[in-house]
Amino acid sequence: MKIIKHTFDGVIVGAGGAGLRAAIEAAPYMNLAVISKLYPTRSHTGAAQGGMGAALANVEEDNWNWHAFDTVKGSDYLADQPAVDILCKEAIDSVIELEHWGLPFSRLDSGKIAQRRFGGHTVREGEAPAFRACYAADRTGHMILQTLYQKCVSMGVQFFDEFQVLDVNIDDGVCKGVIAYEVSTGYIHIFESRAVTFATGGFGKIYKVSSNAHSLTGDGPAILFQKGLPLEDMEFYQFHPTGIYKLGILLSEAARGEGGILRNKNGERFMERYAPTIKDLAPRDMVSRAIATEVREGNGAGPNSDYVYLDLTHLGEEVIKEKLPDITDFVRTYVKIEPITDPVPVQPTAHYAMGGIPTNTSSEVCSDEKGTVLPGVFAAGEAACVSVHGANRLGTNSLLDIVVFGRRAGKSMVEYVSSTRPDGLSESVATPIVNKIKKLLEPENNTPSSVASIRNELQESMEVNAKIFRTEKTLADQQEILGELREKSKNINVSDKGTVFNTELLEAIELEYLLDMSDATVGSAIMRKESRGAHTREDYPERDDENYLKHTFITKDSEGNLEVNYKDVELGKYEPMERKY
């Protein structure tokens, strides 16, 4: 197996919004490489639709403190409040900066950036829905990704496209570089680099019905988890209320921000019963739970009574065409329904990981619950957990997270690189990876590997046992299933023995990452004996601040045994209250 070595000061893994934003910050000050398993413009930031929250106050009075209040309340008080303050305060400059770099925001007649309503965002701490989400029609993420990539092109940032990350080298507690697989050639590349940022995105492919791209397999978090490092708050996984039925394709909350209504099979606007003040614009955990409850109580529509309707028919053709063009096209393309005249079947879809690689507000990775910094390793975006989203992320805050903490990761890389010296990395560090790949490719075999069938079993069982409603029993059952799937995965033999675009081999590697993410999710969920945000334990239906106002830190030892530790939430201005909308 051919091995190629590179030397850089810094490497960013992942070229979505967080990775690109970090690159823009770091590139002028160091020899930097960005490696991505896709072409950067294919990254999943591009699938984000509705908007980016920032208290610009272009439509009505607003200030970032109200945004912070909403974010903390939305998080079910699990977010760290100093981090939330940073997020909401820096949101304003981050939006302006993207505009200056050319992002084509939708505009008000005044020429200012347009803002719309979104779930959980209010004025004056809960009084009424707020116009806070800055948007570009319903393709805000696409425009952010394009704008950041364009900026990188203008700066001459060096990209390694279609390189799959396989390992990070941490020697005596200090980062030395990363190892990646070049998909087009099968070569192993060692990137010697004393600063490494993981911005690899989420892992929504652990579930069957998911809004996530095929590529979202938790690569960064999994690689660190395999090294015995902790992951934070992995039990908190967000299910977006409105995925297209069965397919899971996202229909933005902007649809409800513009006035769309959820209805059950009787045509009833059921959210009036669950969130009397802001109704359909309640946070995602509450709306998804409401939909699941309606379905359980027999109020679901369709032959299997398992979906509800997103009704846009009263909005009128003009609003739909101008403000929701893409998502209504998805509906026409995939389910052949005309949303201008007919309601759309929807169900909750796996969407966003609140948990991930623990970081501090400088985007430095922490190696334990005490906040010990792992020198040279940084993380940002969905792969990371700062935590600004706590137990439930508000819509529009992920696009903020990537730019605010992507920028901070880039800054921290610059500081770190300027205060350290290169230390060398030998080619032998690739040996374990080379052996791992060899094992997957040997022996001779002409039938497709079992990757797809194991992945299907994983996704289907996670869907049943670890989705919106969870109990001790479903989680214990799932742990057993995960153990069996892990055993099966040890015998995977890839039938494609080639080196050029061996995507079967890549899927085998990604499956291992998915199993790690599932272990961490279920292992954290079974230990949290309360219900908070997106984590609903039917056997422990109440929030328990006395015992669980804490972040979960889960680790796995070389034997595969899981261990859970906790870290107190950093409170601030807002004391935990009952969460009503």
Task: Look at residue 243 and give its three-state secondary structure.
Answer: strand
Q: Does position 113 bind other proteins by CB under 8 A?
A: yes
- Cα angle for residues 329, 331, 334 (degrees, 5° grid): 105
Nearer to other proteins (CB atom), residue 110 or residue 419? 110
> For the residues of 449-489, what is the DSSP string, one character each?
PSHHHHHHHHHHHHHHHSSSEE-HHHHHHHHHHHHHHHHHH
Which token pair is 325? 């063009």
Sole window of 386-394, 498-506, 531-539, 566-574 interacting with other proteins (rule: CB under 8 A): 498-506
Sole window of 60-68, 147-155, 399-407, 544-552 interacting with other proteins (rule: CB under 8 A): 147-155
Min. distance of Cβ 286 from other proteins in angstroms?
A: 26
Q: Does position 372 bind other proteins by CB under 8 A?
A: no
Quick one: which of 81, 94, 122, 146 contacts other proteins (CB under 8 A)? Answer: 146
Contact present, 166 and 37 (Cβ < 8 Å): no
- The site string for other proteins over 223-262 (x = CB under 8 A, - otherwise) reads ------------------------x-x-------------
**Sign (positive/negative) of CA torsion 29, 53, 248, 314?**
negative
C-beta atoms surrounding 440 within 10 Å: 18
Which token pair is 549? 């106002």
Q: Does position 46 bind other proteins by CB under 8 A?
A: yes
Min. distance of Cβ 21 from other proteins in angstroms?
A: 15
Which token pair is 242? 């409105």
Nearer to other proteins (CB atom), residue 50 or residue 358? 50
| Catalytic annotation, pick one of 284, 408, 528, 532 | 284
Q: Does position 132 bind other proteins by CB under 8 A?
A: no
Q: End-to-end CA distance of the chain, in Å?
A: 58
Which token pair is 343? 């309601």
Q: For this structure, is 284 an active site residue? A: yes
Q: Does position 452 bind other proteins by CB under 8 A?
A: yes
- CA–chain centroid gap for 37, Å, is 16
Which token pair is 81? 């409040």
Nearer to other proteins (CB atom), residue 173 or residue 498? 498
- Cα angle for residues 399, 400, 406 (degrees, 5° grid): 95
Q: Is 276 exposed, middle or buried (0-12, 13-18, 19+ CB in 10 A)?
A: exposed
Q: How far is Cα 466 from Cα 208, in angstroms, rounded to an integer?
A: 11
Q: Does position 184 bind other proteins by CB under 8 A?
A: yes
Q: Does position 504 bind other proteins by CB under 8 A?
A: yes
Q: How far is Cα 120 from Cα 281, in angstroms, rounded to an integer?
A: 6
β-strands 469-470, 536-537: how paired? parallel
Subset of residues 297 to 326 that bind other proteins, contact rule: CB under 8 A: 326
Query: Residues 6 or more apart from 373 whose CB is under 8 A from it?
Result: 360, 364, 365, 366, 367
Q: Does position 142 bind other proteins by CB under 8 A?
A: yes
Which token pair is 20? 């690109």
Quick one: which of 11, 13, 137, 402 contacts other proteins (CB under 8 A)? Answer: 137
- CA–chain centroid gap for 447, Å, is 34
Quick one: which of 100, 332, 473, 529 contacts other proteins (CB under 8 A)? Answer: 100
Min. distance of Cβ 556 from other proteins in angstroms?
A: 28
Nearer to other proteins (CB atom), residue 142 or residue 535? 142
Q: Does position 204 bind other proteins by CB under 8 A?
A: no
Task: Look at residue 133 and give its three-state secondary structure.
Answer: strand
Nearer to other proteins (CB atom), residue 207 or residue 540? 207
Sole window of 117-125, 192-200, 209-217, 458-466 interacting with other proteins (rule: CB under 8 A): 209-217
- The site string for other proteins over 549-578 (x = CB under 8 A, - otherwise) reads ------------------------------
Subset of residues 153 to 182 that bind other proteins, contact rule: CB under 8 A: 153-154
Contact present, 4 and 189 (Cβ < 8 Å): yes
How many residues sit in the footprint of other proteins (CB under 8 A)? 63
Quick one: which of 1, 5, 7, 42 contacts other proteins (CB under 8 A)? Answer: 42
Sole window of 39-47, 188-196, 230-238, 302-310 interacting with other proteins (rule: CB under 8 A): 39-47
Q: Does position 458 bind other proteins by CB under 8 A?
A: no
Among residues 48, 54, 408, the alpha carbon closest in space to that of 250 is found at: 48
Q: Does position 205 bind other proteins by CB under 8 A?
A: no
β-strands 231-232, 550-556: how paired? antiparallel
Quick one: which of 477, 499, 544, 570 contacts other proteins (CB under 8 A)? Answer: 499
Q: How far is Cα 321 from Cα 329, in angstroms, rounded to an integer?
A: 10
Nearer to other proteins (CB atom), residue 189 or residue 289? 189
Which token pair is 116? 């719309």
Tell me the three-class secondary structure of 301-328, residue by residue: ECCCCCEEEEECCCCCHHHHHHHCHHHH
Nearer to other proteins (CB atom), residue 97 or residue 477? 97
Quick one: which of 28, 60, 61, 108 contacts other proteins (CB under 8 A)? Answer: 108
Summarize as ranges the residues that interact with other proteins (CB under 8 A).
38-39, 41-44, 46-47, 56, 95-96, 99-102, 104-113, 136-137, 139, 142-143, 146, 150-151, 153-154, 184, 213-215, 247, 249, 326, 329-330, 333-335, 447-449, 451-453, 494-496, 498-504
Q: Give me the active site residues, please.
A: 284
